[in-house]
Amino acid sequence: MNVRISQLDYDNDEYFFGRCYAKDDFSWMYIPIEKNVTKVIRSMLIPHGFCEYNFHELKKYNTPALVILRDPVERWVSGVVEYLALVYLDTKQSLTNLVRHSITPEKVFEQIVFDAHTYPQTWFLTELTQCEYIWFDEHEKSHFIDTMSKYLAHKGVAHTWTNKNYPYIPDGNINLKKELTQEYTNLLQANLELMQKVKDFYVHDYELINSVKFYT
């Protein structure tokens, strides 16, 4: 198994270093970090005039930036599952395709990083100087929705986002991904050495998370 140097994201488009979403005036921008509810937030911003830009090309390093951070281990599991589903699962949504390609958990844990879904969160923020952070927990979506709604209102973005109408993005592989997610979660919980290996890879993410104040 080889690292995808092309940095493909889940839409099969080449991931470009510096992706952001902003209005023409660039009063603030949103920095999408893969596997940190990016599709959902984009679906909220695009109808309000936010377009895709590259903050590196535009040198927008001092523009206030919204960043969603997530637990590195939880994000890694989600990212690995996304990668395996994208690259190796067949059209019948069968795990047997992983077996045919000899994609074992041992190989996955040996490599750790594969594409933009598993790159460190700090990688997406290179050279930015004014970030505001919101924490995302997969198990506390209602709290995240409330916080995000408050933030958008503060920024003057009209919305109707509530716990009842959380914008769900359909996924044809949802059941298969749940199975893989549980498998890798169980492996990590049962093997502290593997857990530590993943944590060590994301040491800079943990440093960032422990050093910033989150918007509430």
Between 109 and 68, where is the model more confident?
Answer: 68
Q: What is the pLDDT of residue 99?
A: 60
pLDDT, tens only, 122-181: 999 999 999 999 999 988 988 998 899 899 999 998 876 666 666 656 566 778 888 889
Q: Is the pLDDT of residue 10 over 60?
A: no
Distance (Å, rounded) from C-alpha 170 to C-alpha 50?
Answer: 22
Q: Is the pLDDT of residue 11 over 80?
A: no
Q: Is the pLDDT of residue 118 over 70?
A: yes
Helix axes 192-201, 72-87, angle to 10 degrees: 90
pTM above 0.85, yes or no: yes
For range 52-69, the mean pLDDT: 96
For range 197-203, the mean pLDDT: 96
Q: What is the pLDDT of residue 62?
A: 98
Distance (Å, rounded) from C-alpha 42 to C-alpha 131?
Answer: 18
Q: What percent of the chain has pLDDT over 70?
A: 81
Q: What is the pLDDT of residue 58?
A: 96
Distance (Å, rounded) from C-alpha 134 to C-alpha 156?
Answer: 17
Q: Is the pLDDT of residue 201 over 90?
A: yes
Q: What percent of the chain has pLDDT over 90?
A: 56
Sheet holding 29-31, edge to edge: 51-54, 19-22, 29-31, 65-70, 131-136
Q: Give the bridge partners for 186, in sequence order.
A: none
Exposed e or buried b for every residue in 9-40, given b needs 16+ CB within 10 A? Answer: bbeeeebeebbbbbeeeeebbbbbbbbbbbeb
Q: Is the pLDDT of residue 9 over 70?
A: no
Q: What is the pLDDT of residue 7?
A: 39
